Structure 1
Amino acid sequence: MARLMREAGLKARVDRVYRRQKKSRTFFKGLVNRRLEQEKASKINQQWAADVTYIKVGNRWGYLAVVIDVYSKKVLSWALSDRLDSNLTMFTIVKALASRKPKRGLLFHTDRGREYCADRVRHLLAEHGVEQSMNRPGKCTDNAEVESFFKSLKGELIKDAPIANLSHLREKLRKYIQYFYNRTRLHSSIGYMSPIAFEKQCT
């Protein structure tokens, strides 16, 4: 691939992931990393991962929250808002649960952000029999699947692309996630298949 790109004069476009700095790391007591206690995901709806990233929109920030199936790398749900709070993360969790209807015992992994530590989020997950897991302090690589998605998204869609407003960004995200990332983009970790094609093969 590298040789073909060089011969065609093509260059990969990447961007760094903007990580928010938490003002208080002890605002909520984080949970332990349950992923370290389990084997690697071996089927869909066994482990999900979620996170929120910042995207610059003019002079403001937009906040993108996603839920990803760790095994298939499919983005199960996403939401964009101009506010970072538990309403944003709750929406993505409820949407993912409604579309996938996982069995009890699903592992749900996130960072230690307060929007995932909120009582209402914990209660929602508990009601559906979902086991909550969080990164170890300072270990963002514990949530590598979502970090990898954000890096791809910002390098392939956001970098150097003018974004007029949240509505414009939302439409760009919809096309990228639903029609490119989930359906077309090939992932080396799942045998160079798209997430949807990989899930069809699994079922």
Structure 2
Amino acid sequence: MFEFISENRDQFKVKRMCDLFGVSKSGFYAWLGRPVSGRKQYDQELKSVIEERHQGFRRAYGAARLHKDLCRLGYACSRRRVRRLMCEMGIKASTCGLYQWRPGLHEFYSATGNLLGRESSPEQPGVQWAGDFTYIRTGKGCLYHAVVLDLYSRKVVGWSFAKQRSAEFAMSALRMALSRERISAGCIFHSDQGIEYAAHDYRELVETSGLQRSMSRKGDPLDNATVESYFHTLKAELVHLVSFKDRIEAVAKIVEYIEFYNRERLHSQIGYTMPEERSRLCA
């Protein structure tokens, strides 16, 4: 009795769904009993291979590379088909979404240009400056450290620290440099393409201070090699040898190191003299 009622109820549901979708009951049951098409079977085979290859390449491959990989293995498929199957499986390249396309951003950066690439090495302090920042791990979280270097003396002329990245954090280092050092007319200030250095407030500070803005080419850290070299030296000689318990200790140790770097450390790029001494000799 209960089986009969249940069967009638199921039949009623099927009929109602068929009416809603505008199909016949016979068509529905014909579709239900129809074997899986060859295309669907091939899709399932491709999905199995895609999942295996995607995992094998550390999830780094997207549709384009997986398509090429499948073709090398002898599977006939299009890139669009691979992309569709990846979407159905919910997998994507591990780098997907890390970098976003922003219309006009390239023009925004390239409008500044790399002035250092067209200039010779400076012959006195205050002619070419460069800035950048890095982060340092401590027992109580990361500490961001920004600096401004004079490219003639290699002296650290300004620095700042912060818990978070921001334009104000980068501006503090430049303000310190401007308050401590004199600059020549048209002094170049070079940085990478970080958003902190491209911010309107930072650009305004650079321009109102009489500096010329210069920016590295996209993805080319060698354009700002002097500052990168300073950070490498700082980490090799201090950061990697010490475990900072908190940000306060890190700031104290780094400021102490900057004083050593400027006043006592022999710098190979300036004839094994100290940055402070080289700057003073040229005064």
TM superposition score category, shorter chain reference: 0.7 to 0.9
- Alignment RMSD (CA, Å): 1.6
Who is 1:165 aligned against? 246
Decide which of 263, 270, 275 is 1:190's aligned counterpart.
270
Richer in strand (by share) = 1
Cα deviation code 1:17-68 (max 9, x no counterpart): xxxxx85585952221011111111111000010010111126211000000
Task: Give the Cα separation in 2 of the matches to 1:192 and 1:96.
Answer: 24
Cα deviation code 1:95-121 (max 9, x no counterpart): 111111313300000000000000011
Task: Give the Cα separation in 2 of the matches to 1:155 and 1:92.
Answer: 22
Task: Give the Cα separation in 1 of the matches to 2:237 and 2:256.
Answer: 12
Q: Residues 25 and 120 from structure 1, CA distance in 2 versus in 1: closer, same or farther, beyond 3 angstroms? A: farther
Does the aligned pair in 1 maintain the 2:188–2:212 contact within 8 Å?
A: yes
Matched, 1:122 2:203: yes
Does the aligned pair in 1 maintain the 2:140–2:246 contact within 8 Å?
A: no
Does the aligned pair in 2 maintain the 1:49–1:67 contact within 8 Å?
A: yes
Matched, 1:53 2:96: no
- Higher-RCO chain (CA-CA 8 Å, sequence separation at least 6): 1
| SS at 1:92 equivalent | helix
Query: Normalized against structure 2, the TM-score is what?
Result: 0.61
Which blocks of at least 5 consecutive residues in structure 2 are unaligned? 1-97
Decide which of 183, 191, 214 is 1:110's aligned counterpart.
191
Matched, 1:201 2:271: no
Paired letter, 1:174? V
Who is 1:35 aligned against? 116
Matched, 1:91 2:172: yes
Does the aligned pair in 1 maintain the 2:140–2:247 contact within 8 Å?
A: no
| SS at 1:182 equivalent | helix
Does the aligned pair in 2 maintain the 1:55–1:64 contact within 8 Å?
A: yes
Q: Which runs of 4+ in 1 moved over 3 A?
A: 22-28
| SS at 2:253 equivalent | helix
Structure exhibiting the larger radius of gyration computed from Cα positions: 2
Query: Normalized against structure 1, the TM-score is what?
Result: 0.85
Task: Give the Cα separation in 1 of the matches to 2:133 and 2:177.
Answer: 15
Q: Residues 55 and 147 from structure 1, CA distance in 2 versus in 1: closer, same or farther, beyond 3 angstroms? A: same
Richer in helix (by share) = 2
Who is 2:156 aligned against? 75
Stretch moving more, 158-167 or 110-119:
158-167
Which blocks of at least 5 consecutive residues in structure 1 are unaligned? 1-21
Does the aligned pair in 2 maintain the 1:104–1:128 contact within 8 Å?
A: no
| SS at 2:263 equivalent | coil
Paired letter, 1:193? T
Q: Residues 59 and 171 from structure 1, CA distance in 2 versus in 1: closer, same or farther, beyond 3 angstroms? A: closer
Percentage of matched positions with identical amino acids: 35
